[in-house]
Chain A
């Protein structure tokens, strides 16, 4: 399994080996602890559960489950052979190296109740010359035929605060001692957001066979 949990720290810019400035997201990733093994016999599927972060107070049920560690966040990742791992084993940033391609998932920033322009990129109406249709969505469909509004029609509503996966972020640098990883590009959420990091390939040319393997 080439996945880790991490915390978004923020963004900055660094120079790469070629001297070019690269926009990077700084993520504190790992160390993660294996907290549970799930097998087909027991649970119907193969996966491992890993924990990240720390808790000051742990209630008794969680204490029994964590067996010594104090993970705040628990997430499951599918693996083909969960018995290769041990409960209590640490997974660190060593599983990634600069040049790898990662996919990062997290909860995006909540935008609240947003209109159609922000939520669905609709065009705005004229702001002047007697126009009153400044930010309205416009027509939402036909008349007597079909006599209803089609399902999936873009309208105003809650935006953001949902799980988003950003594919194709390359690893710029790794600080193993500090558990810091730098990825080229932006990731969902604000600083402090919990992120899942999955390795999906390695640079410079993404080998499709390896990509399929990593997905397994």
Chain B
């Protein structure tokens, strides 16, 4: 592996949480608030996973008072504590951008699927 590959490899976590696109997850990440560090949760549907090596990241979408909110997390970030799968989804797309155009309950509905291993 090259020099850059070695640097990136050293940045990677040994184990990352297992989840798929379409899963409804709760993401626990550290945030600094008023000089104090605490863990914050963010719940929603994983609409995309992208990137390679230590640059892997994923985007979680949820509806807050009818407004879509998306947050992207780097998978190997030391700030990312855990990703808990609340409900695994069955989808036929790698990127669920079509959810952005949906309104109401259809915007959050993804068919239930098999547990990801």
The digit string for B1-26, where 1 denotes a CB below 8 A from any CB of A, is: 01110011001000000000000000
The digit string for A27-45, where 1 denotes a CB below 8 A from any CB of B, is: 0100000000000000000
Q: With contacts A26-B3, A28-B3 known, is A13 near B78, CB below 8 A? A: no
Count of A-B contacts judged by CB separation below 8 Å: 34
Cross-chain pairs A/B with CB under 8 angstroms, 6 sampled: A12-B8, A15-B11, A15-B78, A21-B74, A21-B77, A180-B7
Q: Is A117 positioned at the interface, with any CB of B under 8 Å from its CB? A: no
Q: Is B79 positioned at the interface, with any CB of A under 8 Å from its CB? A: yes
**In the bound complex, do residue A10 and residue B4 qualify as a contact, i.e. CB atoms below 8 Å apart?**
yes
Q: Is A19 positioned at the interface, with any CB of B under 8 Å from its CB? A: yes
8 Å CB contacts to A: which residues of B60-111?
A: 74, 76-79
- Report which A residues bind B (CB closer than 8 A): 9-10, 12-15, 19, 21, 26, 28, 178, 180, 182
Q: In the complex, A10→B6 CA distance in Å?
A: 13
Which residues of the other chain, B, contact A182 by a CB distance below 8 angstroms?
7
Beyond A9-B4, A15-B54, A182-B7, 11 extra complex contacts between A and B, CB < 8 Å = A9-B2, A10-B4, A12-B7, A12-B54, A12-B55, A13-B55, A19-B78, A19-B79, A26-B7, A28-B3, A180-B3
Q: 7 tightest CB-CB pairs across the interface, nearest first?
A: A19-B79, A19-B78, A12-B4, A10-B4, A9-B3, A14-B11, A26-B4
**In the bound complex, do residue A19 and residue B77 qualify as a contact, i.e. CB atoms below 8 Å apart?**
yes
* A65 → B minimal CB distance (Å): 30
Which residues of the other chain, B, contact A14 by a CB distance below 8 angstroms?
7, 11, 54
Q: In the complex, A182→B4 CA distance in Å?
A: 10
Which residues of the other chain, A, contact B11 by a CB distance below 8 angstroms?
14-15
